Amino acid sequence: MRCSLKVLVPMMVLAAPVAVLAAQSRAFPNVGTPLGQAEIQAFDHMIGPDGKELPVGRGTSKEGAEIFAKRCEVCHGKNGENGITHHLVAGSPGKPFRGPFYGVEKDGPSYFPYPTIAWDYINRAMPASNPGSLKPNEVYSLVAFLYYRNGIINENDVMDEKTLPKVEMPNKNGFVPAKPVYPPAKNPSWY
C-alpha cells in the first residue's frame, strides 16, 4: 500500500493494456467470481509428476510405520499386506518389483511411474474415513514407509519436497505411451 508514485505510475501504465485486453476477452464478465491466491491455495492440493507443488515437510519410514499402524492398517493390513483392500506391497526391502504387472502387484505404489503419485493420492484421498486429515509430514512419512517396504528407497532415507520427486521408480518405463500427447499418435482403435 505504501508504494511511491514513482513505482506505481509505471506499473499502472504497464497493467492497463493487459487489464483492458483481459476484460475484452471475457464474453460473460458478469458470470462467475474471481478467485484470489489465498482461496486457491486453500483447495489446490493437486500435485503434478514433477512435484513442484509439494509442500515443505519431511518424514522417514520409521515415522511412517507408526502412522500406518494407526491410520492405514485397518484396511490395508499389517505393513500394507493382505488387508481387506488394496495390497500395497510388491517386492521387499532392498528388492524392488520390476514387473510385469499383471495381477495384484498393480495395486500398490511399485506400479506408479512417478514418485509423486502416491503422495498426491494419500494426501488428498486417504484415509478413506477422513480424507485430507493427514499433515504433510505424515504423508511424507507414509510414502517413505511404503517405498521402503516396496524396496524403492532405503530404510533411513528422508522424504521431503526435494528428495521425493527424485526417487527412482522401478516401473518408470512401464507405460505406453511413455509421455502421453494429444492428439495421440495415429494408431488403430484397438491399440
Partner 1 sequence: MESNKSDRRRFLKQTAALAGVAAGAGLVAKAQPASAQPQHVHNEPPRRGARYSLDHLTHYTPLQDYMGIITPAPVHFVQQHSSEFPEIDADQHRLTIHGMVDRPLSFSMADLKQLPSVSRVHFVECHGNSSPQIHNPNNSKNPNMGLPVQYIHGMASCSEWSGVPLSVLLNEAGVHKEASWLVMEGGDQGKFSHTLPLGKAMDDCFVAYGQNGEPLRIEQGYPIRMIVPGWEGPHNVKYLKHIKVVDQPYNTWNESMNHSVSRPDLGGKARWYHFQWGPKSVITRPSAGMQMPKGYVQITGLAWSGAGRVSKVEVTTDGKTWKEAKIQGPVHSKAHTRFTYDWAWDGQEAMLQSRCTDETGDVQPSLAELSKNWGIALEDWKKPERPRAIHMNAIQPWKVARDGSISDAMFA
**Sites of contact with partner 1 (CB under 8 A):** 22, 25-28, 31-35, 39-40, 43-44, 46, 48-50, 71, 74-75, 84-86, 99-102, 106-107, 111-114, 117-118, 120-121, 124-125, 127-131, 133, 173-177, 179-180, 182-184, 188-191
CB nearer to partner 1: give 9 or 135: 135
φ, ψ at 91 (rounded to 5°): 80, -170
In the complex, what is the shortest distance from the CB of residue 20 to partner 1, in angstroms, rounded to a whole number?
13
Contact by Cβ (8 Å): 171, 99: yes
Separation of alpha carbons 80 and 68, rounded Å: 8
| Closest to partner 1 by CB, 2 or 186 | 186
Q: By C-beta, is 48 or 156 nearer to partner 1?
A: 48
CA 99/CA 90 separation, integer angstroms:
9
Cβ distance to partner 1 smaller for residue 26 or 62: 26
- Per the DSSP assignment, residues forming a β-bridge with 129 are none
Cell 516396496: give the residue.
150
* Helix 136-149 with 116-125: angle, nearest 10 deg: 130
